[in-house]
Structure 1
Amino acid sequence: MTAAAPSYRVWALPGIPEVHEGDDVAKLIAAAAFTDGLPGLADGDVLVVTSKIVSKAEGRILRAEDREAAIDTETVRLVARRGTLRVVENRLGLVMAAAGVDASNTEAGTVLLLPEDPDASARRIREALRTGLGVDVGVVITDTAGRPWRKGVIDFAIGAAGVQVANDLRGDVDAHGNPLVATVVATVDELAAAGDLVKGKAGGLPVAVVRGLPHVVGDVGDAGDAGDAGDARAEGARWLVRPAVDDMFRLGTSEAVREAVSLRRTVREFTDDPVDPGAVRRAVAAAVTAPAPHHTTPWRFVLLETEAARTELLDAMRDAWIADLRADGRSEESIARRVRRGDVLRKAPYLAVPCLVMDGSHDYPDARRSAAEREMFVVAAGAAVQNFLVTLAGERLGSAWVSSTMFCRDVVRRVLDLPEGWDPMGAVAIGRPAVPPVERAARAADAFVVVR
């Protein structure tokens, strides 16, 4: 006998009236579900509930002529801004346009905020239906959001109770015997989208019932919870919020650039973790996009990837520095103290030496213009190094740009076997920061601006 093909049924509940603060959403759902012609509710059903009616019942309506101010109150982090459109992380950890603040389906002059705790709201509705009707159903509370790389919007789960939040398939094999190593299905988001196909956005149908998937409904501890990710069914839809450390797309483009700039710090303590040479080369690729005079490319980057190369260079630089300090009449104690302060380069697992080359520069008969010509190239080198440091910060690598090589260029060229025309412009220590960066004191931009 052939097994029945997997299937489910989904329908909307008509007849739910306009919801007001203090209304009992569970009672409204129960009344609508058992009207004539509808199959009612049964164990194993999943209720897909639009968050708007939950927000209204919980009094999450705000008198706000200025929606932007309401968005400000719900925002904890700006993700991206394009003109007036803001994609932000709201207080629930959800990344959404306008923080989920909605001015539709509510009276003019008001906005709807998301429920304070959508998972708790889902639990209350589920428990009220179990107590009042004796049915064991799952509840998913939904809202609408866009998606990166895809046009259009879709409903997704912001709260859940008594339903499988995620199905962890890692460790299973597919039909061809291939191991599944990364597949965790967001079950509640699939249910949210299925319900929205019959609820719609403007039809006055805020609740849908999904029947035929009893295996996703039940109390905490049932099979199908998200495995070693924790008891997702107990945590609710909140479990699906990706932690910041795992979020590869945490910011928009311009915001990512600003964050990388703000993250750039001079790091003096590094871990022993190896540095990915590919990350450094990506930073070099960014460095050489800097502006330069006369369409030249006045930058070269010497990458010291072996400990032997780093030690040979730093030993030679130390000896040159000590000789300079003795020539200045410094005491041996003072010299030792200064050398210790310069040990930041030795503590790093990777060094880069940016160099300036004057290829393509113009010759002038007078010293004034020749000096200005070199200054242009030095500025271009500084722009390249800034690109380099900022990109390293974006790669979550710490760095310290130290000027030491500029005081012993002949030594550096000899040890690294560089052409005579390459001028080392300091050395960059690179590695994983051993301690969190010290918070930088705020600097008001106006203090550095002169307007004419």
Structure 2
Amino acid sequence: MTPPSYRVWALPGLPEVRPGDDIAKLIAATEPGLVDGDVLLVTSKIVSKAERRLVEAGDREEAIDAETVRVVARRGALRIVENRQGLVMAAAGVDASNTPAGTVLLLPEDPDASAVRIRDGLRDTLGVEVGVVITDTFGRPWRTGLTDVAIGAAGVRVLDDLRGGVDAHGNPLSATVVATADELAAAGDLVKGKAAGLPVAVVRGLAHLVGEPTEAAVGARALVRTAADDMFRLGTSEAVREAVTQRRTVRAFTDEPVDPGAVRRAVAAAVTAPAPHHTTPWRFVLLESEESRTRLLDAMRDAWIADLRRDGKSEESIAKRVRRGDVLRNAPYLAVPCMVMDGSHHYGDERRDTAEREMFVVATGAGVQNFLVAVAGERLGSAWVSSTMFCRDVVREVLELPANWDPMGAVAIGHAAEPPRERPARDAGAFIEAR
């Protein structure tokens, strides 16, 4: 049996690509000798030039801003961002090298569509069925150096899903999905080089990876990990700011259970907040069973209804107000943050004693904010509700808490049933008074 092998070579003879050029016709004009099953690896820069993605820009930073959807990390002038194509990469893929002064080159607007056009053009011109991969250079987390990856593809199996099979020893494969298109892109980069003026490479011998779109793949977009599956979406110190700004109040949850370990990790973040006199004023009561949540919420509801009736509210008004508490009742997990003032100072002076309590309240709030942000970092939704503060004695009695534990609201936790609403933009300057 002949062992598997393939051949890869750079395609010579391509002219300088200009705006409006047909990449497929330029390739065909070199008489490349393509056969069915070949894969062409095309550097994104020549595709961008042909598609008139050379744009005027006052400076590269302005162009990066315009192409950025989300900043993932920043160090000095270097930015790792998610761009309009959904790719996470340095500088949004904006290239200022080998372009006229005052211009930059952007990535193709739709690299998968670009690959389709090249593939269709080669079929029409040369009568061959080939795969096409549009490549660009990426850095990688935890790895030094650059490599080419696929940002667009047509007629190529971009992912080879081996899950459900077995290895040579019969062990089941449960997580193995091979990024075939990226492997092809890297192989092509070995012969194209970064400065050799050879923007296209050909791979022959892997025809089993080539086929019609219904058989092969839907394009390189399938290589981009979704936000829900991205374990490192909020990974760096810069991303902590992203977690803070992206935290939202979630009022509708799915039935999916909450991992208690995730909540405990959030508590670990909460208790790193600052506090006066080296104290630890935070306590978190975690209601993990439906029975404990129902018992607390029923008692709180009864106390609230009694208060509203004493205030002379109508039954209709009472029912409406009670429904506002449904966010707690519908959540699969509740946490009740409490404040304790162990270690506080007593001055015997009302003004100073009031300030002392306020310091502990602020510290507890800082802990709750840490908790909410950490919950968001665990990909969970939450809603802080103040209701336990209005019936502290009831909460202490039901939860059998010490008399010096002051409940400071309750946090509903769960998996969001729908994407949270966009928060209206706020001008930070409106909240600042500089002196």
TM-score by length of 2: 0.90
1:284 & 1:429 partners in 2: Cα distance?
A: 14
* Change beyond 3 A, Cα 1:86–1:134: same
Residues 294-316 of structure 1: CA deviation (Å, up to 9, x unaligned): 11111111112222222332333
Equivalent residues in 2 for 1:214-229 (5 A)?
214-222=207-215, 225=216
Structure 1 residue 317 displacement after superposition? 3.0
In the other structure, the counterpart of 1:178 is 171
* Change beyond 3 A, Cα 1:362–1:141: same
Structure 1 residue 65 displacement after superposition? 4.2
In the other structure, the counterpart of 1:13 is 11
Residues 246-274 of structure 1: CA deviation (Å, up to 9, x unaligned): 33333553554334333434444444433
Equivalent residues in 2 for 1:162-241 (5 A)?
162-222=155-215, 225=216, 232=217, 235-241=218-224
The alignment-based identity, stated in percent, is 80
Structure 1 residue 375 displacement after superposition? 1.4
Structure 1 residue 165 displacement after superposition? 2.1
Q: Secondary structure at the match of 2:182?
A: helix
Structure 2 residue runs of 5 or longer lacking an equivalent are none
1:440 & 1:323 partners in 2: Cα distance?
A: 35
1:286 & 1:300 partners in 2: Cα distance?
A: 13
Are 1:370 and 2:353 matched, yes or no? Answer: yes
* Change beyond 3 A, Cα 1:27–1:275: closer
Q: Contact conserved, 2:249 with 2:384, CA < 8 A, in 1? A: yes
In the other structure, the counterpart of 1:69 is 62
Equivalent residues in 2 for 1:7-46 (5 A)?
7-32=5-30, 40-46=33-39
Q: Contact conserved, 2:234 with 2:377, CA < 8 A, in 1? A: no
Residues 218-243 of structure 1: CA deviation (Å, up to 9, x unaligned): 33455xx3xxxxxx1xx222332333
In the other structure, the counterpart of 1:444 is 427
2:249 & 2:42 partners in 1: Cα distance?
A: 50
Q: Contact conserved, 1:164 with 1:187, CA < 8 A, in 2? A: yes
Stretch deviating more after TM superposition (396-405 or 24-33)? 24-33
Residues 273-295 of structure 1: CA deviation (Å, up to 9, x unaligned): 33222222122111111110111
1:31 & 1:329 partners in 2: Cα distance?
A: 88
In the other structure, the counterpart of 2:333 is 350
Q: Secondary structure at the match of 2:212?
A: coil
2:172 & 2:183 partners in 1: Cα distance?
A: 23
Structure 1 residue 200 displacement after superposition? 0.8
In the other structure, the counterpart of 1:4 is 2
* Change beyond 3 A, Cα 1:337–1:49: closer
* Change beyond 3 A, Cα 1:416–1:16: same
Equivalent residues in 2 for 1:47-86 (5 A)?
47-86=40-79
Structure 1 residue 427 displacement after superposition? 2.2
Structure 1 residue 145 displacement after superposition? 1.1
Residues 383-416 of structure 1: CA deviation (Å, up to 9, x unaligned): 1111112222333433333333323333322222
Q: Contact conserved, 1:304 with 1:351, CA < 8 A, in 2? A: yes
Q: Secondary structure at the match of 1:104?
A: coil
Q: Secondary structure at the match of 2:219?
A: helix
TM-score by length of 1: 0.86
1:240 & 1:81 partners in 2: Cα distance?
A: 24
Equivalent residues in 2 for 1:295-374 (5 A)?
295-328=278-311, 335-374=318-357
2:332 & 2:24 partners in 1: Cα distance?
A: 61
* Change beyond 3 A, Cα 1:441–1:19: closer
Letter in 2 for 1:400: A
2:157 & 2:253 partners in 1: Cα distance?
A: 43
How many residue pairs were aligned?
A: 435
* Change beyond 3 A, Cα 1:135–1:345: closer
User: Would you identify which runs of 4 or more consecutive aligned residues in structure 1 move more than 6 Å?
Assistant: none
In the other structure, the counterpart of 2:365 is 382
Q: Contact conserved, 1:80 with 1:251, CA < 8 A, in 2? A: no
Q: Secondary structure at the match of 2:146?
A: strand
Q: Contact conserved, 2:154 with 2:213, CA < 8 A, in 1? A: no
Stretch deviating more after TM superposition (119-128 or 385-394)? 119-128
2:214 & 2:303 partners in 1: Cα distance?
A: 68
* Change beyond 3 A, Cα 1:56–1:323: closer
2:251 & 2:131 partners in 1: Cα distance?
A: 53
Letter in 2 for 1:4: T
1:106 & 1:332 partners in 2: Cα distance?
A: 72
Q: Which has the larger radius of gyration?
A: 1
In the other structure, the counterpart of 1:403 is 386
Aligned CA RMSD, in angstroms, stands at: 2.7
Q: Select the residue among 85, 92, 99 that pairs with 2:85.
A: 92
Stretch deviating more after TM superposition (148-157 or 248-257)? 248-257
Q: Contact conserved, 1:13 with 1:33, CA < 8 A, in 2? A: no
Structure 1 residue runs of 5 or longer lacking an equivalent are 35-39, 226-231
